[in-house]
Chains A and B, each alone.
Chain A
Amino acid sequence: MTLILSMKLAWRSILGNKVRSILTMLGVIIGVASVIALVSVGQGARLEIQQHLQSLGSNVIEVYSQGWEVRFTPELLGSLKERVDGIKHIMPVLNLGGNIKWRNTTFDSQIQGVGEDFIAIRDLKLAGGRGFTEDDISERHRVMVVGSIVADKLFQGVNPVGQEVYYHNQRFTVVGVLKAKISGNQEWGIDRTVYIPYTAAQRLLGSSNRIDTINIKAEGIQESAQVAVQLKRVFYKIYRRPDAVHIMSRDDILKQVAEMNLVMTLMLGAIAGISLVVGGIGIMNIMLVSVTERTREIGIRKAVGAKNSQILGQFLIEAVILSAAGGIIGILLGSGASLVIRHFGPPTAVTPTSIAYSFAFALLVGAISGVWPAAKAAKMQPTDALR
């Protein structure tokens, strides 16, 4: 019962001196806001990698060229399949961007030129229509398979199969629609992708034999590690240097994610530690001043029978309320900053966990930095305080 009243009193003394209260909270505000914003960037990057992992499909190895002389050709793909054991599927990939247009609607999407096995390699499922045939690839047919979000957003209820879509002023026919792979509405990722035969993509680009990446699906998990090793060996034999290609498996990505998490955690720990010290010192400093300023108030309270513990509690609560208010403002500012960052740069995601942690942290800062001033107030002699 005194708790609610102490909170009321504390709140009133905070409102009574708004500028000072804000300055007091500044350290906590900055600390919490920067933690929230930074975590949101980290979380965004992690989500992006996760979605990439999902879009990759299981047991998939990606091979990137690293050098102008390293050219991937259909013949190379054929020979890889023969020279490396454990390859189930292999296909070339070309990444394109831009809008596709249906009737008067345009849609910003990711376009990939792929081989006929892309559905198997990426672990996709058709919701309707068909995938690509051998003919589609060899004859450079302008056909298209669209992701579920593309189907929903662009065609707005019309069955996309059989519809004609323009891309780079070329007419494509939709032959298949994919099932959603990730639930929820993503702003990037696999369900927004549009697939066309890589040969059609090459013709669109004019450079008729460009291949960006090779996707290989291994027979199983065990094989995938062996395939990666063998691939390295084969490419070394061809180019006589170890870094001619970059080979990335799901294991590699997972390792990278773990490393990134560790770095993030250490960085946030450092920021949190600094803001603890800075914010805590700010609160402690102002609280000490406030205890001196409010000597008379303390004396009056003691004269009417406040126990030392009750005075201690009041000032502690005040410190905690200050830091809690600072924490809330910091959370709002940090979330706002994260939105701004997303608007101009990398994807971000504010998670409930980071909000909960940084708020609890702010409360802790308040409690710790309030102890000394509160103890000073509690120890005051009533007659000294009333003089």
Chain B
Amino acid sequence: MGVVMVDVNAVTKDYRMGKIMVPALRGINLTIASGEMVAIMGPSGSGKSTLMNILGCLDRPTAGTYKLHKEEVSEKSDSQLAEIRNRKVGFIFQSFNLLEQLTALENVELPLIYRGLGAGSRRDRAKSALVRLGLEDRLHHRPQELSGGQQQRVAIARAVAAQPELVLADEPTGALDSRSGEEILAVFQELHAQGITVIVVTHDPNVARHCQRIVRLADGVVIADDLVRPEDYLVAQEVLTTLPALPEGGVKA
């Protein structure tokens, strides 16, 4: 194993529900190397999103340690966590989570704004990220003027424009039709090819087959951790050729 990107050690997470504590994670151990593409699967309520939030520094574990690229996260301040989210992590959600009142371009610029980048280079980087995702003629559209697949591509552009080391996607294709979902997976595979670490939460075994490794959770613990067999592995670009093309055209990957 090369450089370790994600190192999770005996991490637990309890949620307080009134007087009782609900354990969402009950001792997770997980190591992911830099450059891996991993799927996380498990039944609903097994703690996938909870784990992703901790990996993405959106939340802190109740106990245990989490090292992101050798940095111990639990010792960081809120402001330092914001910095990590801003520079090292790109988060992609099932519900896209774009700001409705901003255009696609402005949405992609958002993390760069908080980084303090100047207007010119900010705009250039945001634009090239959108172009890379095939949205060059949608720069000034608002989210509600875009299809679900296009919105998710804007969200990915927002994540990759910040040039993160780690891309986290929580059911990124869950709200999309099969072709749009496949296009998103093609982008992830391309990011993976560039050496970016990608972690995808999914319920769909076919989505998981686009990754090299599948981690299974149940009741807040890891119950299986397997590599995808080469004969099961799916290449999104190949799958796309078998799907009927949409008039809008695909992704420039």
Contacts and interface: CB of A to CB of B under 8 A. Distances in A.
Chains A and B are bound partners? yes
Interface string A289-332: 00000001101111111111110000000000000000000000
Contacts of B224: none
A238 B79 CA distance: 88
B110 A304 contact: yes
Interface stretch (B25-33, B34-42, B93-101, B180-188): B93-101
Interface string B179-208: 000000000000000000000000000000
Given A1-B119, A303-B85, A304-B85, A297 B99 contact: yes
A1 B59 contact: no
Contact of B111 (A299, A305, A383): A305
Nearest to B82: A307
B154 interface: no
A308 B53 CA distance: 18
B124 interface: no
Contacts of B98: 300
Interface residues of B, number: 28
Shortest beta-carbon contacts, A-B, top 4 = A305-B86, A304-B111, A307-B82, A382-B58
A305 B114 contact: yes
Contact of A309 (B79, B111, B116): B79
B14 to A, nearest CB: 14
Nearest to A381: B59
Given A2-B113, A2-B116, A308 B97 contact: no
Contact of B82 (A300, A302, A381): A302
A383 B101 contact: no
Interface in B109-167: 110-111, 113-116, 118-119, 158, 162
Contacts of B114: 2, 301, 304-307, 310
Nearest to A378: B78
Nearest to A300: B97
B87 interface: yes
Nearest to B117: A1
B76 to A, nearest CB: 12
B79 A1 contact: no
Contacts of B87: 305
Contacts, number: 70
B58 A303 contact: yes
B111 A1 contact: no
B91 interface: yes
Contacts of A381: 59
A10 to B, nearest CB: 11
A16 B101 contact: yes
A306 to B, nearest CB: 5
Given A303-B58, A304-B85, A305-B82, A296 B97 contact: yes
Contact of A302 (B85, B115, B116, B158): B85
Interface of A: 1-2, 5, 9, 12-13, 16, 296-297, 299-310, 381-383, 386
Nearest to A382: B58
- Which of A5, A13, A303 has the largest count of B CB atoms less than 10 A from its CB? A303
B95 to A, nearest CB: 9
Contacts of B111: 304-305
B83 interface: yes
A305 B115 CA distance: 8
Contact of A12 (B82, B101, B116, B162): B101
A185 B83 CA distance: 63
B85 A1 contact: no
A381 B111 CA distance: 18
A299 to B, nearest CB: 8
A304 B86 contact: yes
B199 to A, nearest CB: 15
Nearest to A385: B58
Contacts of B99: 297, 300-301
Contacts of A297: 99
Contacts of A296: 97
A280 B110 CA distance: 31
Contacts of B158: 304
Given A2-B116, A16-B101, A301 B110 contact: yes
B58 A308 contact: no
Nearest to A2: B113
A384 to B, nearest CB: 9
A52 B101 CA distance: 59
Contacts of A306: 82, 86, 114
Nearest to A6: B113
B118 to A, nearest CB: 7
Contact of A386 (B97, B119, B162): B97
A307 B93 CA distance: 20
Contact of B59 (A2, A304, A307, A382): A382
Contacts of B162: 304-305
Contact of B97 (A1, A12, A303, A305): A303
B15 to A, nearest CB: 10
Contacts of A308: 78-79, 82
A382 B56 CA distance: 11
Most chain A Cβ neighbours within 10 Å, of B111, B114, B118, B119: B114
B11 to A, nearest CB: 15
A1 B113 CA distance: 9
Nearest to B118: A1
Given A296-B97, A383-B53, A5 B113 contact: yes
Residue from A13, A296, A304 with most neighbouring chain B CB atoms (10 Å): A304
